[in-house]
Amino acid sequence: MGTQGSPVKSYDYLLKFLLVGDSDVGKGEILDSLQDGSAESPYAYSSGIDYKTTTILLDGRRVKLELWDTSGQGRFCTIFRSYSRGAQGILLVYDIANRWSFEGIDRWIREIDEHAPGVPRILVGNRLHLAFKRQVPTEQARAYAEKNGMTFFEVSPLCNFNVIESFTELSRIVLMRHGMEKFWKPNRVFTLQDLCCRAIVSCTPVHLIDKLPLPVAIKSHLKSFSMANGMNAVMMHGRSYSLANAAGGSKGNSLKRSKSIKPPQSPPQNCTRNNCKIS
């Protein structure tokens, strides 16, 4: 993992991520959705491996990602074993419209535990735009991720939904594990877009975002921001969970306020001022 060094570098941190999963789950689609960066492998031999770089902004710091797409075919398992040695993060990818690809995640976890133990990983359900053909329920995948200590995302490269957010969250996990967060946390910088999303999501439940008078693209980004920043639990248990509670809650709040108001104190008996005497 690279850190901030010479001023000629265009990034502050350098991370190597692997995308693993069975064949035809859309790992190449995820890489193709990234517009920036280079697609040329730094190694001459790249048979069975797709490579791409991209740079993301994480709390004001530039993080360059080297993304390696290892083929899911059995004959490339030896390539995965060699490339996994220097990986700092792994994305386990399956197709939500292919039940078999989700069941194959167990095999990839065993490979990771054997050849890259302790490397942070997240579970990614790809091709969310094919939700009408869904074969893997979201609740089941989320429970599976929690059981294995992973963060869970459902992404759609076609709609550009949650792709960058998944890479950002994995980068945050990796840097926090290596103790790098202390270098930038006191100087955290939010973009204007992050500030606007945070302001809207903090007072709007995720199930009411669709009712906001906003374009569809912005609504999708708000949902993605909410999932990436883990604000759903706060919203579901906070005051903004239900708009119907606003009217009923005002009464309870008024009662609490009335209890906190202290009654006026009577004037002291030895007061000599005329306006203090009670007739």
pLDDT over threshold 90, residue 203: no
* Amino acid 252: pLDDT: 47
Question: pLDDT grade, residue 140 (50/70/90)?
Answer: very high
d(CA 102, CA 71): 16
Q: H or E element: which one contains 165?
A: helix 163-177
Q: What is the pTM of this model?
A: 0.62
Strand partners, 53: 66
Amino acid at 215: P
Quick one: average pLDDT of 121-129? 96
SS3 270: coil
User: Which helix (H) or strand (E) segment is 195 a member of?
Assistant: helix 192-202
User: Could you report how far apart the first and last alpha carbons of the chain are, in Å?
Assistant: 82
CA 232 to chain centre: 11
Q: Which amino acid is at 176?
A: M
Residue 61, beta-bridge partner list: 58
Considering the domain delimited by 13-183, tell me its CATH architecture.
3-Layer(aba) Sandwich (3.40)
